[in-house]
Structure 1
Amino acid sequence: MVTDKDGYMHLIQYLTEHLGLFESSQNNAAATETVMELFEEQLSAQIIMVCGQNPQLSFAQRNMVIREIDAIVYDLEEILASVSNQQATPEQSIFITEFSGLIKNLFDQEVDHLLQ
């Protein structure tokens, strides 16, 4: 649905280009959540919005969306393994929010195609 699209590959590339933001954050943490907790929280919120904005999605289609998010979280855990349990900095929080919004945009496009 999303993870096999070029847009997703571009977002993963975008994340890898900004890994320095995550690798140099030892003592500048301001959030109580870890990097992965923030990603999971933000992605969950975005997917709730996708499903809420598209009540015509069937149960099977919603499950497909959830499976895709699980795959994305797995990819993020792989990419960010060394920093996933560190407390997030304000800069990381901003990036994670932006990145999650871009993921939502991919889902918006795919759900739109799915429902046509």
Structure 2
Amino acid sequence: MVTDQSGYEHLIQFLTEHLTLFTEDGTELANGKTVGVILEERIAEQIIALCTQHTELEMNHRSMIIREVDGIMYDFQEVLSSVLEKKATVEQAELINEIALLIKNLFDSAIARLMD
């Protein structure tokens, strides 16, 4: 659905181009959440929004999306494995939020193609 598309490859490349952000000092989030927690929360929020917006999705489509999201989470956790347990900075949270929005956009496009 999305992980086999060039947009997903660009997204992974975007993350790897910004990996230095995860080695730099920054302002820690006030809530003390880790990079891993922020990643899970932001992607979950976007997928919930996606499914809420696309009421026309059938159960098999939703299941396909969940399987893809599991794969995406695995990929991102692999790339960020060395920093998942570190407290997130504001800058890292902003990047993760941007990536989560891009993931939602990939799914929005895939759903539009699917429903045509």
TM-score band by shorter chain is over 0.9
Tell me the residue number matched to 1:20. Answer: 20
Q: Offset at 1:32?
A: 1.7
Q: Whole-Å Cα distance in 1 between the matches of residues 27 and 46 of structure 2?
A: 27
For residues 90 and 38 of structure 1, the distance between their equivalents in structure 2, rounded to whole angstroms, comes to 11
SS at match of 1:113: helix
Deviation per CA, 1:15-68: give whole Å up to 9, x if none.
00000001224x742242111111110111101111111111010100100111
Matches within 5 A, 1:1-116: 1-25=1-25, 28-30=27-29, 31-116=31-116
The letter for the 1-side match of 2:35 is V
Q: Distance in 2 between matches of 1:77 and 1:101?
A: 17
Equivalent position SS for 1:57: coil
**Paired positions, count:** 115
Q: What secondary structure sits across from 1:24 in the alignment?
A: coil
Unaligned runs of 5+ in 1: none
Q: How far apart are the structure 2 equivalents of 1:75 and 1:85?
A: 16
TM-score, normalised on structure 1? 0.94
Task: Let me know the Cα RMSD of the aligned residues.
Answer: 1.1
Mapped partners of 2:80, 2:28: distance in 1: 16
Please give the TM-score of this superposition, normalised by the length of structure 2: 0.94
> What code does the residue aligned with 1:72 have?
I
Identity of aligned residues (%): 47
**Deviation >4 Å, runs of 4+:** none
Name the aligned partner's letter for residue 40 of structure 1.
E
